[in-house]
Amino acid sequence: MLRVEGLKTYFYTLSGIVRAVDGVSIEVKEGEWVSIVGESGSGKSTLAYSIVNLVPPPGRIVGGSIVFKGRDLLKLPESEMRSIRGGRIGFVFQDPLTSLDPLRTVGDQLSEVIETHQGLNHKEALEKAARLLEEVGIPASRVKSYPHQLSGGQRQRIAIAMAIALKPDLVIADEPTTALDVIVQDQIMDLFTGIKASGSSIILITHDIALASERSDRIVVMYGGKVVEYGASRDIVERPGHPYTAGLIESVPDLWSDKQVKSIPGNPPDLRDPPKGCRFHPRCPYASEECRVREPPLIDMGNGHYVACLLRR
Ligand code: SF4
Ligand code: MG
């Protein structure tokens, strides 16, 4: 359904070119939930924004292709892209206020999305908006509320209602629960599980590999603007093939055991001047001389599990 190939998205800043996404390929199938996992600065959000052509300046997509349902999105005129965005692809931002207008009621905003794309009149659209609110667990009477009258969790539910208003084929969510407490986070994730059950594919961008593994079919791990590992969620958590993925898993606190939580030493690379060879080598406990010069290719581990690490040859 979605195939991203060799995508490059660079930011042209005064202090140099930031290669935020540097040759990334991913695939999402019909009805599949794929989570993109990595620390901040791994390029995962830039990948998400690239798919809907919303990369903010000075960023630019400079290479690759994004084929969605047989059409290359990078070759579409902006008018068509706009109708796909919000129509066939729904986007949920980290901060729900990004997609909500503080000066208009929730009902007005939701019904506007429905009216413009579905040709309903205002009254019908408002009724549909009320039903959508109930679908995301908010009383229909809230159509009359303004965003500031709602909690953070409710606002995110409304942003999700806007993203799914037109029954999109794909919903992309960029760290949608980062600002919320754990209980609300879980409820929001339940919403996404429901969205998937109704047939949409989901791309979840998250730094939380535990959250990703509980919910998604597959996990793609990004580091330094590149994909370093991907595969079925289970394989990734039970048999991580990349030292970085293993590090992410080790750094998950476990409430039920007294496992030692270890964070990965060092910092993500400066993407204006990334390390040569394997970009993870300055932080990798297994780095050899070869890792400093040779870029690891993605190696097939079987069952659709791929790892970019020279140890796996
Ligand atoms: Fe570590 Fe080398 Fe593998 Fe990179 S290629 S993750 S530096 S062992
Ligand atoms: Mg981000």
Query: 309: Cβ below 6 Å to ligand 1?
Result: yes
Query: 286: Cβ below 6 Å to ligand 1?
Result: yes
Provide the residue type at 199 as one letter.
G
pLDDT of residue 180: 87
pLDDT of residue 231: 98
Of the CA atoms within 13 Å of residue 157, those in its CB half-sphere come to 26
- Alpha-carbon torsion 160, 163, 169, 170, what sign? negative
Q: Are 103 and 69 in contact (CB under 8 A)?
A: no
Query: 308: Cβ below 6 Å to ligand 1?
Result: no
Q: Domains of the chain (ranges plus CATH)?
A: 2-88+168-307 (3.40.50.300)
- Alpha-carbon torsion 49, 52, 54, 60, what sign? positive
Provide the residue type at 173 as one letter.
A
Query: 284: Cβ below 6 Å to ligand 1?
Result: yes
Query: Distance from the CA of 311 to the center of ligand 1, in angstroms?
Result: 7
Q: Maximum Cα–Cα distance for the chain, whole Å?
A: 68
Query: 310: Cβ below 6 Å to ligand 1?
Result: yes
Q: From atom 3 of ligand 1, which residue's Cα is the shortest distance away? A: 309
pLDDT of residue 255: 61
Query: 278: Cβ below 6 Å to ligand 1?
Result: yes
Residue 70 backbone zone (phi > 0: left; psi -120 to 50: alpha; other: beta): left
Phi/psi for 227 (5° steps) reads: -85, 125
Ligand closest to Cα of 245 equals 1
Query: Can you tell me the distance from the alpha carbon of 177 to that of 183, in angstroms, rounded to the nearest whole number?
Result: 10
> Could you list which residues have their CB under 5 Å from ion ligand 2?
45
Query: 287: Cβ below 6 Å to ligand 1?
Result: yes
Residue of 222, 248, 280, 283 to test ligand 1 pocket, by largest number of atoms within 8 Å of CB: 280
pLDDT of residue 292: 97
Query: Distance from the CA of 313 to the center of ligand 1, in angstroms?
Result: 11
In a 3-state reduction of DSSP, which class is residue 62? strand
**CA separation, residue 239 to residues 1, 61, 139, 300, 310 (Å):** 27, 33, 43, 13, 16
pLDDT of residue 256: 65
In a 3-state reduction of DSSP, which class is residue 199? coil
Query: Can you tell me the distance from the alpha carbon of 191 to that of 160, in angstroms, rounded to the nearest whole number?
Result: 9
pLDDT of residue 120: 85
* 298-309: burial string, b at 16+ Cβ within 10 Å, e else: bbeeeeebbbbb
Query: Distance from the CA of 298 to the center of ligand 1, in angstroms?
Result: 12
Query: Can you tell me the distance from the alpha carbon of 96 to that of 138, in angstroms, rounded to the nearest whole number?
Result: 15
Query: 223: Cβ below 6 Å to ligand 1?
Result: no
pLDDT of residue 117: 77
In this structure, the number of other CB atoms found within 10 A of the CB of residue 261 comes to 10
Ligand closest to Cα of 44 equals 2
pLDDT of residue 300: 97
Q: With a cut of 0.95, is the ipTM above it?
A: yes
pLDDT along the chain (313 residues), means of 10: 98 96 98 96 96 96 98 94 91 90 94 84 90 93 94 93 94 92 92 96 96 96 98 97 96 73 89 96 97 97 97 93
Query: Can you tell me the distance from the alpha carbon of 188 to that of 242, in angstroms, rounded to the nearest whole number?
Result: 30
* 104-122: burial string, b at 16+ Cβ within 10 Å, e else: ebbbbbbbbbbbeeeeeee
The pTM of the full predicted model, rounded to 2 decimals, is: 0.95
Provide the residue type at 66 as one letter.
I
